Structure 1
Amino acid sequence: MTSAPQHELNQLAGLAFAKGHGTGNDFVLVDDPRGEITIGVSAVAALCDRHQGIGGDGLIRAVRSDSIPEGAAILSADERAEWFMDYRNGDGSIAEMCGNGVRVFVDFLIAQGHVTLEHGDALTIGTRAGVKQVARTDNGYAVDMGPWEFVFPEAAQEKAIDSLVQTRGLDVNRPALSVSMGNPHTVVALADDDELKELDLTHIPSVRPVPPQGTNVEFVVPSEPLVTDGVGNISMRVHERGVGETQSCGTGACAAVVATRRWAAGDGPDQHQADEWNVQVPGGTVVVKFIPSPDGREHVELSGPAQIVARGVIAGA
């Protein structure tokens, strides 16, 4: 009997793909400029299956914005957004945005010959979380992730916590703060690295109240001291909605810094005003910066590496 993943892969026989990652957050990438390839939920899950498929935290389809409805809506707002990142979680569900994924997406567009991007120049990309500007740097790419906001603003402003989280490896519920980076995140502060290492993130953490669209959950350990020479430092592990634990999460790193900075505000102005942060994740390090914006809202910039590591064709049975 043919397994379910193998059946789905058979339907995609002959499909060319690439494999890429940003600090260990890995993706299957498909080039589909005219939006002609249909990859359903179960087919995405089969491709991302780490045992019977290619393996990945998600699937990224590169499509011209004018070829799909979501992209056409983006073009009406910004005609520069020629390319749209159609991103799915590893279980096939739709995700609004992925900070590591958009860097890998731009690297893929360059590798495919669709765009050229000199160091210091930026490319406008359409996503389900709106338009993103991605600049090429000496060490990869920097993404203007746009403004951050609290998921539950009234509770967050008053208490700096708005949720309780329970997961395996923690003996009691822990207070948390939910932050939106275009997609939802719930951030939990831990006491030390030992607590971080002991977490069992093979199961979905319990979050109460849970944001309306579900949530990614970040577990964070602040460094001691938190800020050195004007730069903040934290370590993080993450359970991603629709995926499980990943080696990195770009939007999660941004949310973790927002929450940490909010918690540290009571410890003195130097803590609160750090504008650059190093976030250590299992797959490496990403950098989060707070930047001013003409729209008057504080934006977050995420920078880090991106790499295409393999190419292939789905064989089928």
Structure 2
Amino acid sequence: MNEALAVTPERTDSKLRGLRFSKGHGTGNDFVLVADPSGVHTIDAGQVATLCDRHRGIGGDGLIRAVPSRFLPEGQELLATSPDAEWFMDYRNGDGSLSEMCGNGVRVFVHFLIAEGLVDLPAGGSLNIGTRGGVKTVVRTGDDYAVDMGPWEFIFPGEAAAKAMDSLVSADGLEVPRPALSVSMGNPHTVVALAELSELEATRLFTAPDVDPVPANGTNVEFVVPADPLVHDGVGTATMRVHERGVGETLSCGTGACAAAVAIRHWAGTAAPDAWNINVPGGVVGVKFFPGPDGREHVELSGPAVIVAGGTLS
């Protein structure tokens, strides 16, 4: 890890001076990470936006505060049923808005906890993490991490079951609105299938796509191109770009990759596989479906996590 001397983002509150941070990413989805084992650092939406600014701050798709679950109301609620979920991933998008969950972020979060000496997790070991999307179990698999993302569900289940599509999405670069399917992975996603990689490349995601109807709390929008052939050696493959709610286009989105696999498998029918590789601009993540302990189908997300730098706020 490269140790920076100091970073002085504009308008950062004096209470944050001296606060140590790290910078990490999972397949290019990058985060500012702060350890707060005593639960004393309140970082508001404006400060998050400043710290995540790529020109005037550190830069990142979001900010993750590592804080014991007992210091947050959401964490205390989770501890009532999952007392081993000691650490809570307090995650905000790059614009400062709260987010329920981030699949790439939770892998980087656990890697950060290990690097900071806050947890000891050997290869093959698992750790339960509190998030606003519920408790997530993370397994260390050598240099990578696999996360039980929990059950998936359709946001508009009646429409999805009847038509396999439930909304229309308009985006810059697409000549006409495209049908889409909305999937919840603890946070909302709307998945659009495109026919060609050239069409995917031509789609411009500088501004948020228009989704009709839009889920109640907004949505992340994934544009996907299934591979041809779709399945090779029992594994499905697709290529994806994403516009994340409150962030913009990112190099990767873990929950979005899971939602994309849900949608493509649904469209492909009963013969579709349970294992998928999703290509994103920042690399490749793996997605698997398996029966969960609650009797529902769960989704596992796997991929790398990297800490690239650290420093101190001045």
TM-score interval w.r.t. the shorter chain?
over 0.9
| Contact 1:6-1:52 at 8 Å conserved across structures | yes
Unaligned 5+ residue runs, structure 2? 1-8
Aligned equivalent of 2:4: none
Alpha-carbon separation, structure 2, partners of 1:118 and 1:11 = 35
| Contact 1:9-1:314 at 8 Å conserved across structures | no
1:13 aligns with 2:4: no
| Contact 1:30-1:62 at 8 Å conserved across structures | yes
Aligned equivalent of 1:290: 289
- The structural deviation recorded for 1:15 is 1.5
Secondary structure of 1:7 counterpart: coil
Deviation per residue, 1:76-114 (Å, 9 max, x gap): 110010000000000000000000000000000001111
1:108 aligns with 2:112: yes
1:193 aligns with 2:197: yes
- The structural deviation recorded for 1:35 is 1.2
- The structural deviation recorded for 1:209 is 0.1
Alpha-carbon separation, structure 1, partners of 2:107 and 2:211 = 29
1:87 aligns with 2:91: yes
| Contact 1:165-1:176 at 8 Å conserved across structures | yes
Aligned equivalent of 1:181: 185
The one of 224, 228, 235 equivalent to 1:224 is 228
The one of 124, 129, 132 equivalent to 2:133 is 129
Structure 2 counterparts to residues 50-65 of structure 1, below 5 A: 50-65=54-69
Structure 2 counterparts to residues 1-317 of structure 1, below 5 A: 6-8=10-12, 12-265=16-269, 269-270=270-271, 272=272, 274-315=273-314
| Contact 2:16-2:41 at 8 Å conserved across structures | no
| Contact 1:27-1:56 at 8 Å conserved across structures | yes
| Contact 2:200-2:223 at 8 Å conserved across structures | yes
| Contact 1:103-1:143 at 8 Å conserved across structures | yes
Alpha-carbon separation, structure 2, partners of 1:230 and 1:138 = 23
Alpha-carbon separation, structure 2, partners of 1:113 and 1:74 = 23
> Which residue type is aligned with residue 132 of structure 2?
R
Under a length normalisation based on structure 1, what TM-score does the superposition of the two structures give? 0.95
Alpha-carbon separation, structure 2, partners of 1:199 and 1:46 = 28
Deviation per residue, 1:268-316 (Å, 9 max, x gap): x43x2x011000000000000001122111000000000110000112x
Deviation per residue, 1:181-228 (Å, 9 max, x gap): 000000000011001111110001000000001000000000000011
> Which residue type is aligned with residue 213 of structure 2?
P
Deviation per residue, 1:163-192 (Å, 9 max, x gap): 000000100000000000000000000011
Going by fraction, where is helix more abundant, 1 or 2?
1
| Contact 1:19-1:310 at 8 Å conserved across structures | yes
Alpha-carbon separation, structure 1, partners of 2:75 and 2:33 = 18
Alpha-carbon separation, structure 2, partners of 1:89 and 1:258 = 24
Root mean square deviation of aligned Cα: 0.9
| Contact 1:85-1:126 at 8 Å conserved across structures | yes
Unaligned 5+ residue runs, structure 1? none
Instruction: Give the 3 Å change call, closer, same or farther, for CA 107–300 of structure 1 in structure 2.
Output: same
Alpha-carbon separation, structure 2, partners of 1:294 and 1:125 = 17
Alpha-carbon separation, structure 2, partners of 1:67 and 1:15 = 18
> Which residue type is aligned with residue 305 of structure 1?
P
> Which residue type is aligned with residue 313 of structure 1?
T
Alpha-carbon separation, structure 1, partners of 2:262 and 2:281 = 20
Secondary structure of 2:11 counterpart: helix
Secondary structure of 1:210 counterpart: coil
Secondary structure of 1:178 counterpart: strand
> Which residue type is aligned with residue 307 of structure 1?
V
Alpha-carbon separation, structure 1, partners of 2:142 and 2:197 = 31
Alpha-carbon separation, structure 2, partners of 1:281 and 1:235 = 6
Runs of 4+ in 1 over 3 A off after TM superposition: none
> Which residue type is aligned with residue 295 of structure 2?
G
Instruction: Give the 3 Å change call, closer, same or farther, for CA 81–123 of structure 1 in structure 2.
Output: same
Return 9-18 or 76-85, whichever deviates more. Answer: 9-18
Identity %: 67
